[in-house]
Amino acid sequence: MKLLNFTEGKGARRGVNEDIIQLVSCPTNGSVCTQNLCEINRLLSTAQQSRFTKEYGRSIYKMKEALAVADDIKVERCANCAALFRKTILSSMDNVKEELEEMSKGYFKTRYRESYKQVSVMVAELKQSRSLA
């Protein structure tokens, strides 16, 4: 069952107000999860902007907040919506992790090595606690 359509930012800069996750169909027609999704998209948008300006710590922090909003969807009928929101947020975190890994091998390696280690551990823990590892 396809619930959501993910719009991938393929290197292109996205507008602040552009939704990152779009609700295509939902058992409650979004009446339960739309609020959460709006908040998630707002946070992901900020995270995206921070990533472009290489403020990775802030970017990850905003995504962590978004994850908490997804976790807040407790209604059974929107369990699939919540799972997909989480999956998208975690894959965005993976992208930041990969970017940091690259940076930690480059010219500014000493600056990014510690961040990369911290983010790796954090993302692994977040996945594990949600049985997504």
Name the residues that contact Zn ion, by CB under 5 A: 26, 33, 78, 81
Q: Which is nearer to Zn ion, 33 or 66 (CB)?
A: 33
Q: Which SS3 state, helix, strand or coil, does residue 4 take?
A: strand
**Token pair in block for residue 26:** 């939902």
The least CB distance from residue 25 to Zn ion, in Å, is 9
Tell me the β-bridge partners of 4: 23
Q: Which is nearer to Zn ion, 3 or 122 (CB)?
A: 3
Helices H, strands E: what count in the chain?
4, 2
Scanning the structure block, which residue is given the tokens 């999956």? 87
Question: Which of 44, 58, 52, 60 shows the shortest CA–CA distance to 94?
Answer: 60
Q: Which is nearer to Zn ion, 32 or 100 (CB)?
A: 32
DSSP single-letter state for residue 76:
G
The least CB distance from residue 89 to Zn ion, in Å, is 15
What backbone torsions phi and psi does residue 122 show, to the nearest 5 degrees?
A: -65, -45
**Token pair in block for residue 71:** 């976790």
The least CB distance from residue 78 to Zn ion, in Å, is 3
The least CB distance from residue 133 to Zn ion, in Å, is 25
Q: Which is nearer to Zn ion, 69 or 78 (CB)?
A: 78
